Amino acid sequence: MAGPFGADSTTDEVLESVDLAGKRILVTGASAGLGVETARALAAHGAQVVGAVRDLDKGRAATGPVRDQASGGGGLELVELDLASLASVRARAGALVAAGAPFDVVIANAGVMACPKGETADGFETQFGTNHLGHFVLVNRIASLLRPGSRLVNLSSAGHRFSDVDLDDPNFAHTPYTEFGAYGRSKTANILFAVEFDRRHKERGVRATAVHPGAIQTELGRHMTPDLIRQLLPAGADPDEALAAFPWKTIPQGAATSVWAAAVAPADAVGGRYCEDCHVAALVEDPNVRGGVRPYALDPDRAKALWAKSEEMVGEAF
């Protein structure tokens, strides 16, 4: 069944009675936080999980629970992937295509958040380059491995409300850089990529969606300085008090929407949409409201324009 589930639902609750035996699922960022929990829950229900990680040693150390709890034929294979390097992305995609084993789900989970201004190996702004362009090339290069009935799940964020994509200046060459402005651009891009990928592939039975996991305290927040935290709070609010009172999710609650969208929700319900708290989110135009999805993030024309700009930036047409 698709529910009822909500903000407090966990991965195990969402996947209760779901048999994923025979399913092959790629999860990027499987060496920490949500990625490890996503892989654990899927493998515990019989899925063969391919965990893509930047650091194989770190990945092996972090994924003991995935291997220990795998059942029903489930298991874990770790592969190396650095989304901040298109050479690494293309090498991994090429190896997967050469192996020829199809996927039932790709969960584009890896990412960075609110980091200082920097560049990927290819000269792209770090957050846009890692969170969007790395996944854009990876997913498109392995699209032939997605069999009918499969799904792409892009991890976005409520942070998409901070900013729309800027197709004229994606690398902040002329725009003042802000950590959350750049994060917002990348998370909006994650949604728009799902919208256009879904449009292009749904006729062959492949659907795409984007999800917001919720606010979870993981290493994704390693760049969150006190000054950055203050930027998110009302003027004069005490950061320590605000953080203590904030309704944080646990990691199993945070990963629940990913596995719900991947294996439980009806494909037609989530295809081309944005989901949060294990349901399809409503359109919300008020920039001060955290929940819901901003209309610009689901704009089909904007999604097509981002696709074209992304192809131009990576020098590859899909």
- Are 40 and 69 within 8 A, CB to CB? yes
In degrees, to the nearest 5, what angle opens at C-alpha 303 toward C-alphas 300 and 306?
A: 155
DSSP secondary structure string for all residues of 71-90: -TT-EEEEEE--TT-HHHHH
Which residue of the set 163, 187, 249, 274 is catalytic? 187
Write down how long the chain is.
318
* CA dist., res. 54 & res. 301, Å (int): 33
Neighbour tally for 283: CB within 10 Å: 11
Indicate the pairing of strand 24-28 with strand 103-108. Answer: parallel
Which residue of the set 156, 163, 186, 258 is catalytic? 156
- Residue 156 a catalytic site member: yes
Give residue 131's identity as a one-letter amino acid code: N
Contacts of 263 (CB under 8 A, 6+ apart): 15, 18, 20, 23, 42, 105
Kindly provide the b/e burial profile for residues 295-312, where b requires at least 16 CB atoms within 10 angstroms of the residue's own CB.
ebbbbeebbeebbebbee
Which residue of the set 31, 163, 183, 249 is catalytic? 183
- Residue 88 a catalytic site member: no
- Residue 177 a catalytic site member: no
Residues belonging to the active site: 156, 183, 187
